Structure 1
Amino acid sequence: MGKIRSVVSALLILLSFSCWANMLQEKKTSFENLCELSVVDPHVLLSKADTLDVHSALPFYQIEMLRACAYRSLSMRSLVFYHAHHALEAVGIDKDPDTKAYVYMLLVESAVLLNHLDIGTKYIAEGVSYARMSKNILLEANMIQMESTILRKLGQTAKSYTRMQDAIRMLAKSNQPEALLLMSHIYGYLMSFYIEDLRYNDAWQLGKKRSVFIDKMEKEKQNINVSWIDNQKGYLYSKMALLSEIRKQSKLAEEYCKMFYRTNFSKSNMGVFEINNYLLLRGDFRQVLQNNDIRFQLNNTDTLGTDYLNALYQNSKAYKGLGDYEKAYYLLEKINNVRKTLRIGEYKQKVQQMRESNQKMENEMLAHEISFKIKLRNYFIVGLLVLLIVGGAFVYYILRKKKTISFQKRQIVSLVTELTNLKEEEEEIHRTEFGKDPNGVPSATQVKLPAEEAPITSDHILPDEEIPYENLRDKILFDDFDRKVRVEKIYLQYQFDHDDYALLMGVNHNRFARIMKNYGGGNLTHYLNDLRLEYSVFLLREHPELSNMEVAKKCALPKLSIFCRLFKERFGVNPTVFRQEALSKK
C-alpha cells in the first residue's frame, strides 16, 4: 500500500507540473498573439489591454507594452513613449529580458520620431548598456540604427551611414531568426536615406537585397510571425514602386503597387501612409489626401513628430497638384513654423552637445595629462631603482675589488718580505762561508781555473746538469762578482760605470756584457736596479721614518719618480703602500 501511495503521489506531482507548464506556455502564446494583434487591429488590442488591466490577467509591464505597440500602429508616438516609459519602470520587467529589450526599442524609436533627440540619446546609451550586459545583439544593433537616425537629423550624414553599416555587420554575425527581420527593417531605413539623398541606384540595389531576405524568411519558415513579414513586404513594395516610377519603369511600378495592396499592411493605419510618395509621383493627389486623413486626426496628433511633418508635406504637394495653392501655402507655412520650433530645440541641443563635447575633451585632456604624469613618475621610479641597483652593484664591485687589491698587496708585501729575508740569510751564509757557493759550485778562490784549452774535470760540473767548461767558468766569475757586489753593497755606488764593474769581475767589456746577459737578468742596469730595490725593501721595512725620497737616494736612485716606477713594476705596489702594509704586520 505504501508503494502504491508513493506512485500515485508522484503521478499527481508530475500532472500538476505539466498543467502549470502548459498554463505558462498558453500564457506566453496568448501574450505573443496579443502583440501580433497590434499590427492587425490596434483598436481591438487597446480594448483588450484595458480588460486585462482590470482583471490583472498579465503583469502591468506587459499590458503597458501592448498599449505602446497599439499606439505605434496608430502613429501616436507620444502615447507610445508614455506607455513604453511606464513599462520600463514597472516591477518585474527585469525578469523578462525580451520584453525589456523591445520596450527600449519602442522608447528610442518614439523619442527620435518625436524629435526628442536628447531623450532618445539617453535611452540609446541605456539600451546599449543593457544589450551588452544581457548579450542581446538584436537590441544593440537596433540602438546603433537609431543612433544613425539621430546623427542624420543632426546633419552628420557620413557618420550616420557608417553607424548604419555597423548595425548591419553586427546582425550579419547573428544566427537568430529575428536577426533577418531586424536586418530587413534596417535596410528599410537605409533605403529611405538613399532616396532622400537622391541615391536611387543604391536604394534600388538595397531593395533587391532586402527582397532576398524576406523570401528567405518565408521559405525557411523561421520562427517569425507572419504579420511581421507582411509588414516588411508592405514597406519594401511601396519603396520599390516609388523607385520604379523614378526610373521611368511605370509598368514595374504598377506591379509593385499591386503587390503592396495585396498585403495586409496596406490596409493598416501605417500602411496607407507608406504608398503616398509613389501616388504623388504618379499624380493621384486625392488618394494621398484621403490616406493621410485616414491615418491622422490632425487636431489630435503629435504636432512636432516626423510622421506629422511628412503628412503635412505630402498634403501640401497634393493640394499644389490639384491647383489649391492657398491650402498648399498654408500647410507649407505650418511646416516652416514647426521646423522653426524644432530648429530652436536642435540649436539648444547642439549647444548642449557642444558643451558636453568640450567638457568631454577637457576631461580627456585632463585624463591624458594625469596618465602622462603617472607614466612619467613610474618611469622616473623605475629609472631611479635601476640607477640605485647599478650604483649599488658598482659600489659593491669597487669595494670587492678594493678588498681583493688590498689582499693582493698584503700578499705581495709578505712575499717580498719573505724573499728579502731569504736573501739576507743567503748573504749571511756567504759572509760566514765566503769560499763556498750555496749551489755546491766551487768558488774562484777554491779552484784554480785551468787554461781555456784545458779539459773540464768532474769537480767543475754542477750536480744536476752538465755545463760546458766555458759556461762554468763564466758562472763562477758571476757568482764571485755577485757576492762582492752584495756583501760590499757596491751597487749603492752610483758613480760606478760599466767599465768599473767589468774590471771588478776581471774580464773585458764584451765578455762582461755576455756574462751579465746570461746570469745577471739581461744587463748591468737591470741587475743593479734589482739589488737597489731589494735594499729599498729593507729600508722601508726597518726604517719607516725615512721618506720615499730619502730611501731613493740611499738606494742610488736619486730620482723619486724612477724609484717609484721601478718599485711598482718589480713588486706590484708603490713604496708608500708597501711601508703601510709592512708596519701593519709589525
Structure 2
Amino acid sequence: MGLGNYKAAAQTYRQMYTLSDSLRLREKRNGVLDFATLYETKEKEAQLVEQAAQLREHRIFLLFSACVIGLLGVLLWRNVRHSRIVKAKNRTMASKIDNLLEYKEELFRRKEENLQLAEQLQAAESELQQRDKAARLLAPQAPLTENEPSVSDEPSDSDDIDRALFDKLEREIISRKLFLQPESPREGLIEQMHVPQNKFPKLFKRYAHTNFSQYLNNLRLDYATRMLKEHPKYTVETISQECGFKNPPNFYKLFSEQFSMTPAEYRDSRNLL
C-alpha cells in the first residue's frame, strides 16, 4: 500500500522498529523481573533453611546446656554432701583425738605418781636396810643354823626391772620434752640412764610396740595437736618446726597417716566444736 511513498514507508519502518525495540525491552524487563523473582524466592528459601538450621542448633545448644547444668548440679550436690560428711567425720575424729590426748595426759600423770611413789618406797626400803645393817653390826653375831637363810638380796624379776627402766626413759623424754629436738636424743638417754646399746631398742619394741623413731614422732604429733588447738594463729609450718620435724611435708604425711586428716582439717574441725 505504501509502494512509491518513501516517506510513508520510512515512517512505517520507524514505527515498526520502535515497536520492536519496545517489545524487546519489555521481554528483557520481564526476564529480569522473572529472574529477580526467582532469585528472591531462592534467597528466601535459603534464609528459611538457614533459620531452621540455626533454630535446630539453638535447640541442641539449649539441650546440651540443660544437660551440663543438670550434671553440674548433681556434682555440686554430691560435693556439698561429701563435704558435709567429711566435716562431720573430721569433727568426730577431732573429738576422739582430744579425748585420746586427755587420756594420754592422765595416764602420764598416773605413771608419774607411781614413779614418785616407787622412788619414795625405794628410798624408805633403802633407809630400812641401812638401819637393819647398823642394828646387825651393833648386835652380837649369832651362828647361822640350817633352817635360817643367809642374808642376801633376792633376785628381782627381769620383766619388772625392764618395765621400770622403760617408764624412767619415758618419764625423762616426756617431762624434759626431748622429743622436740630435731636430732634424736638416743645417745644422751643411753649414757644418762645407763642402758645397754642392744637393750635400748628392745625396750621400746616391747613396751611402746614401735621403734624409737616412731615413738618420738608419735609424741611430736600429740604435741602438734595441742599447739594447733592452743595457737590458732600459728602456721602449720611453724608448728611442724616447733615440734621437731625438719621438713613440713613429712609432718603433713605423718599427721594424715596418724589421725586420718590434715593439720588444717583438724584445726577447722576444732573451730566447729
Q: With the length of structure 1 as denominator, give the TM-score of the two structures.
A: 0.31
Where do residues 18-37 of structure 1 align in structure 2 (5 Å cutoff)? none
Report the identity percentage.
Answer: 22
Q: How many residues align?
A: 211
Deviation at 1:380, TM superposition (A): 0.5
Counterpart position of 1:377: 58
Q: Shift of the alpha carbon at 1:553?
A: 4.1
Superposed CA deviations along residues 436-474 of structure 1, whole A, max 9, x for unmatched, are 89xxxxxxx69x9937xxxxxxxx6xxxxxxxx76x764
Report the aligned-residue RMSD: 3.7
Q: Does 1:573 align with 2:254?
A: no
Mark the CA change 1:414 to 1:519 in structure 2 (over 3 Å): closer, same or farther. same
After superposition, the C-alpha distances for 1:125-183 in whole angstroms (9 at most, x for unaligned) are: xxxxxxxxxxxxxxxxxxxxxxxxxxxxxxxxxxxxxxxxxxxxxxxxxxxxxxxxxxx
Superposition deviation, residue 478 in structure 1: 2.8
1:387 aligns with 2:68: yes
1:509 matches 2:197: yes
- Structure 1 counterpart of 2:215: 527
Greater RCO (Cα-Cα under 8 Å, separation 6 or more)? 2
Change (3 A) 1:405 1:392: same
> Residues 320-399 of structure 1 correspond to what in structure 2 (within 5 A)?
361-362=42-43, 364-399=45-80
Structure 1 residue aligned with 2:114: 433
Alpha-carbon shift at residue 582 of structure 1 (Å) = 2.7
Cα 1:545/1:365, change in 2 over 3 Å: closer
Unaligned runs of 5+ residues in structure 2 are 1-30, 124-152
Q: TM-score, normalised by structure 2?
A: 0.61
**Structure 1 residues 530 and 401, CA gap change in structure 2 (3 angstroms):** same
The question of whether the paired residues in 1 share the 8 Å contact of 2:179 and 2:216 is answered with yes
* Deviation (angstroms), 1:435: 5.8
Structure 2 counterpart SS, 1:409: helix
8 Å Cα contact 2:178/2:185 also seen in 1: no
Would the alpha carbon gap of residues 377 and 543 (structure 1) be closer, same or farther in structure 2, given more than 3 Å must change? closer
Residue 449 to residue 361, structure 1, CA distance change in 2 (3 Å): farther
In structure 2, relative to structure 1, the CA distance for the partners of 1:390 and 1:545 (3 Å cut) is closer
Change in Cα spacing, 1:363 to 1:517, as seen in structure 2 (3 Å) is same
**Is the radius of gyration larger for structure 1 or structure 2?**
1
Do 2:87 and 2:269's aligned partners in 1 also have CA atoms closer than 8 Å? no
2: CA distance, partners of 1:377 / 1:410: 48
Partner SS state of residue 544, structure 1: coil
| Corresponding residue number in structure 2 for 1:450 | 155
Which of 393, 399, 403 is residue 84 of structure 2 equivalent to? 403
- One-letter code aligned to 1:431: E
| SS in structure 2 at match of 1:433 | helix
> CA shift at 1:576, angstroms?
3.8
CA distance in 1, matches of 2:190, 2:203: 10
* C-alpha displacement of 1:389: 0.7
Shift of 1:409: 2.1
Q: Distance in 2 between matches of 1:373 and 1:583?
A: 55
SS at match of 2:251: helix
